[in-house]
Chains A and B, each alone.
Chain A
Amino acid sequence: MRTVFNKTLIEIAKNDPRIHMILADIGYGEIEAFDEAFPGRLYNVGVAEQNMTGVACGMAMEGNICITYSIANFPTLRCLEQIRNDVCYHNQNVKIVIIGGGVSYGPLGVSHHSTEDIAIMRALPNIVVVVPCDNLEAEAATHAMIEHQGPVYYRCGYKNESDIHDGPIDFKIGKAIPVTEGKDIAIFFTGPIGYDAKIAAKKLEAEGISVRLVSMHSIKPIDKEEIVNSAKNIGKILTVEEHNLSGGLGSAVAEVLADECCVCKFKRMALPDVNVSKVGSQQWLREQYGLGVEDIYNTAKAMVTGK
């Protein structure tokens, strides 16, 4: 997915000289093409994320669109105050891109897990939070991010993500994208873990349980209409995300359900409120922490059958 992001950005930047990349010494093997294509439009500030964000903000205040880019929590939590006070308060055109959302960098450990980022970023005024789930969404989200006037947080996956959407998509910030239609349960996911949700949904379909599977790529603003309609028309909603249980997709959906007085069966699947300290791959960690395909399948089935 990161490759798709970088290639798409280059395509957009060919026709938009405002676009600059401001890096903090991360991106080997991925960002060189941008530098070669657009000399003088990529700056590596060194391992200095606060300065990266401040410089990007200063450049943006002069009419540029600046991409800050690094892995996991580096361009968010390390420089959170710069994002809050400088970028968001001044509503500047800074696009914060992370590579490796969730536990993509599995065995690298807790420092490289981005598992609270959605909660933290969506609490900031003025910012848009997008989480593409596959390459199609990654490309579309890159276009949408650049077109959007103001700060965007773009939670990218890592590499070799499987396709979730079968065909062309209509990607709009704030508008969820259904993957399958269904009437027995709605499963909302965000990010590449949607592929696991899709496999689980297929198993459920094979047993006669019809699933409305929806990519909630846009956490802020979130698609209230999709949530309310699913609550009213289906009555069962399961959220799936590779993020701490607190403050992510599930919380955002729960807020809408509460605000809109929607009564329905509702369950959140997320990483538990612990540090993901076991050592293993992304897929293995998902299974260890209750986010495997079987977990999604069992939880959804229990919600539908009541067993």
Chain B
Amino acid sequence: MDKTRRNELADFAFNVRRNCIRMTNHGQSGHVGSMLSMAEIITVLYNGVLKNVSAEDPKNPNRDRFILSKGHAGCAVYAALYEKGYFPEDWLMTYYCDNGKLMGHISHHVPGVEFSTGSLGHGLPVAVGMALNAKLKNNSHKVYCMMSDGDMNEGSTWEAIMFAGQHKLDKLVGIVDYNRVQALGHSENIADLEPLDEKLKLWGWDACYVDGHDLEALEDAFNAVEENGKPTMIICRTIKARGIPWLEDTVKSHYGFIPDDKVEEAIAGCLAFCEQTKKGE
């Protein structure tokens, strides 16, 4: 990845983080940690990985489909969609507000959003249905579904994993935002998923780990996906609330919002992380 592109993507990720902090602060909502952990993933998705996805033609039948199963972090998708021109700036601060345009959990009423979620374990089965259709119709597009640690606790997710492997749905790309923090603690102390890649491979998936904050590694992982008779799971090692040092890797970051007197400090932390990214650190 050349420096110009890295800088562009780092700025995009920073803008996503900054808007997530501002929107959740303004709406006094929660889940900011879950949004910040996926900033780089959503950045690479909307800047090259997702094909034929644009605000000018949001219903293009050949578009790659993207479902956010961890719907509580939908604010990060809204922030990315805003950057891509799907809706005007004045929508942003209506997030989580009376008569707002942007619902707390991701909503298909927002332009560019395929599917509403919020209760975990719903995204992958629907993505599997879409991927099955794409395979049956021999469509060219792929179906992406991003999940959380909590999603991976749900039985319905594993039902879908079994089915996708059985039917060799190689147009399906799962993504785990593997920040390893869920609502009541660290996932290894609740329902340890390890070895996650091995479990997925046993059920007929390709699976790999990647640094979920490394833009180049993420892009490479997505570009390496092959239609080889297996669905793919890209397990992104991330840090909850990445960019805000005092909140990183905490359960607390799953709840609440950054208070008014901490917003600029939080944004400054994210900017510092952005600058690190640009330097390749």
Contacts and interface: CB of A to CB of B under 8 A. Distances in A.
Interface centre among A22, A40, A59 (most CB of B within 10 A): A59
B122 A55 contact: no
A69 to B, nearest CB: 15
B243 interface: no
A90 B125 contact: no
Contact of B128 (A40, A58, A66): A58
Nearest to B121: A50
Contacts of B167: 43
A180 B217 CA distance: 73
Q: Helix, strand, loop or mixed for chain A's interface? A: helix
Q: Helix, strand, loop or mixed for chain B's interface? A: helix
Given A61-B126, A89-B116, A50 B133 contact: no
Given A51-B163, A90-B108, A58 B125 contact: yes
Q: How large is the interface on A (under 10, 10 to 19, 20 to 34, 35 or more residues)?
A: 20 to 34
B122 A61 contact: no
Nearest to A54: B125
Nearest to B133: A62
Interface centre among B116, B122, B129, B134 (most CB of A within 10 A): B129
A81 B119 contact: yes
Interface string B120-137: 011011111111111011
Contacts of A56: 129
B100 interface: no
Nearest to B124: A54
A58 B133 CA distance: 8
A62 B156 CA distance: 21
Contact of A51 (B116, B118, B159): B159
A45 interface: yes
Contact of B129 (A40, A48, A58, A89): A58
Nearest to B114: A61
A51 B132 contact: no
Interface in A69-119: 81-82, 85-86, 89-90
A61 B159 CA distance: 20
B125 to A, nearest CB: 2
Contacts of B118: 85
Contacts of B126: 54-55, 57-58, 61, 86
A53 B130 CA distance: 12
Contacts of A58: 125-133
17 contacts: A22-B129, A40-B136, A43-B132, A50-B156, A51-B128, A51-B159, A51-B160, A58-B129, A58-B133, A59-B129, A62-B134, A62-B137, A64-B133, A66-B129, A82-B125, A85-B122, A86-B122
